Chain A
Amino acid sequence: MIHVTEETKSGWRVLSVRGRADADAADVLEAALRAAIDQHPKVAADFSALDYVSSAGLRAVIQGARAAEARQVEFAVCSLSPNVRKVFDMSGLHHILRIHGELPC
């Protein structure tokens, strides 16, 4: 189960993601990222309350980053919990994503 809430802070559209980004939630996560990317020039995904990310969840984030790249939207992933950080590090996602310790705004 995943919950996504949105707000705008200093020009960034911030998506706060809570719960587990697994196969059940991947479509919801990708759709939320894509919708924000379609409408805003700067999008940040706040993962501080994301407890778990599976391969399907990672693919959703990667495809969000792909959509941002195609639209020339600034996209950042922020505040990863230790569990999620470990998965991101293992996958080498820092090569294709901007990963911040804190929100960029």
Chain B
Amino acid sequence: MLTMLEEVVLLAVDEKSGCLRSTREFATAYALVGAVFFDLALARKIDTCTEEVHIIDRGSTGNATLDRVLAHMASRPDLKTVRSWIEEIFQRRDDLEGAALESLIAQGILRHEKSKLLWVIDVERFPLADNEPQQDVRVRLSRAILSDAIPQTRDIMLVSIAEPCGLLGYVLSESALALRWPRIQMLCNLETISRKVTEAIFELDGTLRQAMTKMV
């Protein structure tokens, strides 16, 4: 089974071009951080209340990336809130994306291609070697949003991570998303981690807008 982190990165791969959609942008980077926390929660390594993260088991998850994040968390007992941990791990976002891509390539789901744009600029692409896992993620997301049934925990987490970084637009049409907006909001609100990820994105967005206004 793929990790939440791998599923989010896989969802960000354009199935036609193999390019990563906006994963260098801060919103998706925050989503990757949220996905790692969800992976640790699903592995019963951390738990959250309305504000704080608690490490409940420092043992290995069996996944090197998750173990690294867990070890880092264990080394910083001064950081307690979900929000401060999101900010802390956000600084290591490139590692998360790279590790997920490596794992997806190793599992035969993605290929890695390098080429030159205008003979100068390096371009990396990650075409799908196996369409099925991405299709599975898309189907689960669609079902969780379009159905009125209560989704599985994992699918609630997936919706709540895909929404704040704009990845749902690659799964459903704008009109379908608009129609189901109350449902999407309801699912996103269920999890503390996704509420804090969304808050972090909105705050950073606000800060960037202020900075842009000052520059203009």
Partner of B186, one of A66, A69, A70, A96: A96
Cβ contacts B26-44/A at 8 Å (1 or 0 each): 0000000000000001001
Partner of B150, one of A23, A58, A65, A92: A65
- Closest Cβ of chain B to A34, distance in Å, is 13
Q: Is A56 an interface residue (CB 8 A)?
A: yes
Q: Does A96 lie within 8 Å of B150, measured CB to CB? A: yes
A1-43, CB < 8 A from B? 22-24
With the chains together, A59 CA to B54 CA distance in Å? 16
| Contact A55/B41 with A66-B150, A87-B50 known, Cβ cut-off 8 Å | yes
- Closest Cβ of chain B to A104, distance in Å, is 20
Q: Is A86 an interface residue (CB 8 A)?
A: yes
A82-100, CB < 8 A from B? 86-87, 90-93, 95-96
Q: Which residues of A contact B41 (CB under 8 A)?
A: 55-56
Chain B residues bordering chain A, tally (CB within 8 A) = 22
Which of B88-96, B112-120, B189-197 faces chain A? B189-197
Q: Which residues of A contact B189 (CB under 8 A)?
A: 90-92
Chain A residues touching B, majority SS: helix
Q: Which residues of B contact A79 (CB under 8 A)?
A: none
Q: Is B48 an interface residue (CB 8 A)?
A: yes
**In the complex, residue of chain A having the shortest beta-carbon distance to the beta carbon of B151:** A66
Residues of A whose CB lies within 8 Å of any CB of B are 22-24, 52, 54-56, 58-59, 62-63, 65-66, 69-70, 86-87, 90-93, 95-96
Residues of B whose CB lies within 8 Å of any CB of A are 41, 44, 46-50, 54, 56, 149-153, 156, 186, 189-193, 195
What would be 24 A-B contacts, judged by CB atoms less than 8 Å apart? A22-B47, A22-B56, A23-B44, A23-B47, A23-B56, A24-B56, A54-B48, A55-B47, A55-B192, A56-B41, A56-B44, A58-B190, A63-B153, A66-B149, A66-B152, A69-B150, A86-B50, A87-B50, A90-B195, A91-B190, A92-B190, A93-B190, A95-B186, A96-B150
